[in-house]
């Protein structure tokens, strides 16, 4: 019971801090924090596909791009952001579903290459289809939305908009992973042969894992466009997919809070290390390598290992006590 | 009694090797059929062909008179066919209870209700009953990967029964299980067979287990059926003694 209250209290403090502390941040600080919220949503989608369902994807950055371009094109044409959000979700869900089909036949690095090819294809479309995306010139002056009549043009209201969106997505993902679907995703990752023999339609769940994860990438993209107010193809190159992959792995793949931590490290740590000037990227790389050597299951993997060790010790002590009692009893 | 499972002339070839060669048999409702034979004789391959894990090269499988050849394992499971595996196939990171809940969840509601409906829907109670039935109470919260080999075998068997199957194919359930657990397992299987009229096909090398549990025994050798009959008949069959049981 104490641990439950401790977790609840910690959660309240973190949420309060995310609401109150940024009130004193400057424009750049708010931009970085908003970017963290957006990238966390994209990483949550990848965590669902990779961390929970065990399907490798190097295409998450492409879905962020699809969402961002959908928002940029539609809002620049006068449509509300909510309409762009609906279109982006449907579009990314459908493309993600189709991209899931190769996963029914190939796995691991083969699947990584299939998704990498899609990532490259999406980038080429962003860059070359100028009639739609304006190519390398990009789309500028993307408006920020009004939420129930409140404008989010200024950085602080827009940050709260991103934070609110992150909260809604987090609740939805929390619901999903605690539902039988979430258990089926885990079964898919842990032992697909056994899952199939238990009546779990692994084909359907594989496609769903891809589709939902991709749709979340699209949601992140829809927020990204009004955040930067300018989109061009460069941010959605393969490097974004690799960054998102790193966020999931460093934070803790298959842990609910992994993407939050991973995105924090990927987005905020380079900023905090800027005082080291030219060395900051090197230090950042060394920190990530060191972490993954120490804990391949990411930061939350360390915590999980600690809890598992404590639980095993407690169970061993319990068993020893029970055995001792049996030996004493005549 | 009516035939729950009818297997007609099933064959499976891997390149030039014929692992299963024209095997035919049927299993009556409520029966416990033992399937024995030397290693590599095609027992597990036959199971995999029946259960849709492998596509047979020829032949037909019927369930309650309906052809089910080529159906996927998940579809067969929904029709009430379940199985255990020769090698351990539990979900190691999930607890014993979570393994059992997972094993039962696809038998309730549909895809949509499994997403937006209650995450439990009575599954925890069903899992707890199964935990009690297989005497795994003290391990309910333990991760399955931390259990001993024998305990994981029991969990594997318990998972196969979560959806209330009519036909269960057990692949070496006694392998690596100690004598006390083995007696427990046999009692549990008998109880389910008698109370629920569940039908079993059991691959096993432990002759005492097979002969005392099964109502009929089929012997395979080199991908073919060598003999079929009551346990005492099979035990006395000279061809079986020669090919498998020994003197």
**In this model, does residue A328 exceed pLDDT 70?**
no
Residue A191, chain B, CB below 8 Å: the answer is yes
Residue A194, chain B, CB below 8 Å: the answer is yes
Angle (CA) A105-B160-A198 rounded to 5° is: 25
pLDDT of A159-186, one tens digit each? 999 999 999 999 999 999 999 999 999 9
Average pLDDT over residues A237-249: 95
Contact partners, residue A85, CB within 8 Å, separation at least 6: A71, A219, A222
- Model confidence at A280, pLDDT cuts 50, 70, 90, reads confident
Is B115 within 8 Å of A181 when comparing Cβ atoms? yes
Chain B residues whose beta carbon lies within 8 Å of the beta carbon of residue A315:
142
**In this model, does residue B121 exceed pLDDT 90?**
no
Q: Give the whole-angstrom CA distance, residue A211 versus residue A237.
A: 20
Taking alpha carbons only, the member of A280, A281, A271, A251 closest to residue A263 is A251
Q: Locate A55 and state its tokens.
A: 């399907």
Is A181 within 8 Å of B114 when comparing Cβ atoms? yes
Burial of A175 (0-12, 13-18, 19+ CB in 10 A): middle
The residue of chain B with its CA nearest to that of A205 is B111
- Model confidence at B231, pLDDT cuts 50, 70, 90, reads very high
Chain A residues whose beta carbon lies within 8 Å of the beta carbon of residue B85:
193-194, 197
The rounded percent of chain A whose pLDDT value lies above 70 is 97
Give the gap in angstroms from C-alpha B246 to the nearest C-alpha of chain A: 35
Q: Locate A173 and state its tokens.
A: 């993902």
Burial of A322 (0-12, 13-18, 19+ CB in 10 A): exposed
Burial of A105 (0-12, 13-18, 19+ CB in 10 A): exposed
pLDDT at A307: 84
Chain A residues whose beta carbon lies within 8 Å of the beta carbon of residue B163:
198-199
The CATH number for B48's domain is: 3.40.50.300
Residue predicted with more confidence, A138 or A269: A138
Look over chain A and give the mean of its residue pLDDT values, rounded to a whole number.
92
**In this model, does residue B176 exceed pLDDT 70?**
yes
Taking alpha carbons only, the member of A166, A129, A47, A49 closest to residue A97 is A49
pLDDT at A217: 98
Q: Locate A104 and state its tokens.
A: 């029914």
Q: Give the whole-angstrom CA distance, residue B103 versus residue B81.
A: 13
Give the gap in angstroms from C-alpha A47 to the nearest C-alpha of chain B: 17
Which residues on adjacent β-strands are paired with residue B171? B203
Contact A102, A256 (CB under 8 A): no
pLDDT at B182: 87
Count of domains for chain B: 1
pLDDT of B38-91, one tens digit each? 999 999 999 999 999 999 999 999 999 999 998 999 999 999 999 999 888 899
pLDDT of A225-238, one tens digit each? 999 999 999 999 99
Residue A325, chain B, CB below 8 Å: the answer is no
pTM of the full structure:
0.90
**In this model, does residue A23 exceed pLDDT 90?**
yes
**In this model, does residue A1 exceed pLDDT 60?**
no
Is A197 within 8 Å of B53 when comparing Cβ atoms? yes
Q: Locate B197 and state its tokens.
A: 């009229």
pLDDT of A82-107, one tens digit each? 999 999 999 999 999 999 999 888 88
Give the gap in angstroms from C-alpha A313 to the nearest C-alpha of chain B: 12
The domain of B12 spans 3-245
pLDDT at A323: 66
Q: Which of A38-47, A137-146, A304-313, B120-129 has the lowest mean pLDDT?
A: A304-313
- Model confidence at A220, pLDDT cuts 50, 70, 90, reads very high
**In this model, does residue B180 exceed pLDDT 60?**
yes
CA distances from B237 to A235, B217, B231 (A): 75, 12, 10
Q: Give the whole-angstrom CA distance, residue A77 versus residue B52.
A: 53
How many of the other CB atoms lie within 10 Å of CB of B67? 12
ipTM score of the complex? 0.90
The residue of chain B with its CA nearest to that of A200 is B74
- Model confidence at A287, pLDDT cuts 50, 70, 90, reads confident
- Model confidence at B32, pLDDT cuts 50, 70, 90, reads very high
Q: Locate B198 and state its tokens.
A: 């569940």
Taking alpha carbons only, the member of B52, B57, B53, B63 closest to residue B9 is B57
How many of the other CB atoms lie within 10 Å of CB of A309? 10
Chain A residues whose beta carbon lies within 8 Å of the beta carbon of residue B102:
183-184, 186-187, 198, 200
CA distances from B107 to A113, A121, B71, B78, B119 (A): 36, 41, 17, 7, 13
B197 phi, psi to nearest 5 deg: 55, 30
Binding-site residues on chain B for chain A (CB distance < 8 A): 51, 53, 72-74, 77-78, 82-83, 85, 89-94, 98, 101-103, 105-107, 111, 114-116, 119, 142-143, 146, 159, 162-163
In chain A, where the domains are located: 28-237
The dihedral region occupied by B221, where left means phi > 0, alpha psi between -120 and 50, and beta the remainder, is beta
For A228-242, give one letter per residue: b (16+ CB within 10 A) or e: beebbbebbbbebbe
Chain B residues whose beta carbon lies within 8 Å of the beta carbon of residue A304:
none
Contact partners, residue A73, CB within 8 Å, separation at least 6: A84, A132, A133, A139
Q: Give the whole-angstrom CA distance, residue A213 versus residue A79.
A: 25
pLDDT at B244: 77
Chain B residues whose beta carbon lies within 8 Å of the beta carbon of residue A187:
91, 102
pLDDT at A304: 87
Chain B residues whose beta carbon lies within 8 Å of the beta carbon of residue A178:
119
Of A183, A199, A315, nearest to B78 by CB-CB distance is A199
Average pLDDT over residues B187-201: 91
Chain B residues whose beta carbon lies within 8 Å of the beta carbon of residue A312:
146
Residues 265-294 of chain A whose Cβ lies under 8 A from any Cβ of chain B: none
pLDDT at A69: 98
């Amino acid at each position: 019971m104490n641990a439950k209250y401790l977790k609840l209290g910690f959660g309240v403090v973190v949420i309060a801090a995310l609401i109150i502390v940024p009130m004193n941040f400057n424009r750049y600080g708010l931009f970085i924090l908003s970017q963290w919220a957006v990238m966390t949503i994209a990483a949550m989608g990848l965590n669902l596909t990779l961390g929970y369902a065990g399907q490798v994807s190097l295409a998450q950055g492409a879905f962020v791009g699809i969402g961002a371009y959908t928002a940029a094109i539609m809002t620049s044409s006068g449509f509300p952001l909510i309409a762009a959000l609906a279109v982006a979700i449907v579009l990314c869900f459908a493309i993600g579903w189709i991209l899931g089909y190769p996963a029914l036949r190939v796995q691991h690095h083969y699947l990584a290459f299939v998704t990498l090819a899609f990532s490259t294809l999406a980038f080429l479309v962003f860059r070359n289809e100028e009639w739609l995306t304006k190519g390398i010139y990009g789309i500028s002056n993307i408006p920020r939305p009004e939420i129930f009549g409140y404008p989010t043009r200024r950085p602080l209201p827009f940050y709260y908009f991103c934070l609110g969106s992150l909260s809604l997505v987090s609740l939805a993902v929390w619901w999903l992973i605690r539902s039988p679907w979430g258990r089926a995703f885990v079964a898919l990752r842990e032992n697909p042969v056994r899952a199939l023999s238990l009546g779990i339609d692994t084909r359907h769940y594989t496609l769903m894992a891809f589709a939902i994860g991709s749709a979340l990438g699209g949601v992140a993209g829809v927020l990204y466009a009004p955040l930067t107010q300018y989109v061009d193809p460069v941010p959605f190159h393969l490097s974004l997919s690799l960054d998102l992959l790193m966020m999931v792995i460093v934070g803790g793949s298959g842990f609910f809070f992994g993407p939050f931590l991973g995105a924090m490290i990927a987005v905020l740590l380079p900023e905090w290390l800027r005082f080291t000037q030219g060395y900051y990227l090197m230090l950042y790389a060394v920190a990530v390598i060191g972490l993954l050597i120490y804990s391949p299951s990411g930061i939350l993997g360390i915590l999980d290992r600690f809890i598992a060790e404590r639980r095993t010790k407690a169970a061993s002590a319990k068993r020893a006590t029970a055995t001792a009692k049996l030996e004493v009893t005549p | 009694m009516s035939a729950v499972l009818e297997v007609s002339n099933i064959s499976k070839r891997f390149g030039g090797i014929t692992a299963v060669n024209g095997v035919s048999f049927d299993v009556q409702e409520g029966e416990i059929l033992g399937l024995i034979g030397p290693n590599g004789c095609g027992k597990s391959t036959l199971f995999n062909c029946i259960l849709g894990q492998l596509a047979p090269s020829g032949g037909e499988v019927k369930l309650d008179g309906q052809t089910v050849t080529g159906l996927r394992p998940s579809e067969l499971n929904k029709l009430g066919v379940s199985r255990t595996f020769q090698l351990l196939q539990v979900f190691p990171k999930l607890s014993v209870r979570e393994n059992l809940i997972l094993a039962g969840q696809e038998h309730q509601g549909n895809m949509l209700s499994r997403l937006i409906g209650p995450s439990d829907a009575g599954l925890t109670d069903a899992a707890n009953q199964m935990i009690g039935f297989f005497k795994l109470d003290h391990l309910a919260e333990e991760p399955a990967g931390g259990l001993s080999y024998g305990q994981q075998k029991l969990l594997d068997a318990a998972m196969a029964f979560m959806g209330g199957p009519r036909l269960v194919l057990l692949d070496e359930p006694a392998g690596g299980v100690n004598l006390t657990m083995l007696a427990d397992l046999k009692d549990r299987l008998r109880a389910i067979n008698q109370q629920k009229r569940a039908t079993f096909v059991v691959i096993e090398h432990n002759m005492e287990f097979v002969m005392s549990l099964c109502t009929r025994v089929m012997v395979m050798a080199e991908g073919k059926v060598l003999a079929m009959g009551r346990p005492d008949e099979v035990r006395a069959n000279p061809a079986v003694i020669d090919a498998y049981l020994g003197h």
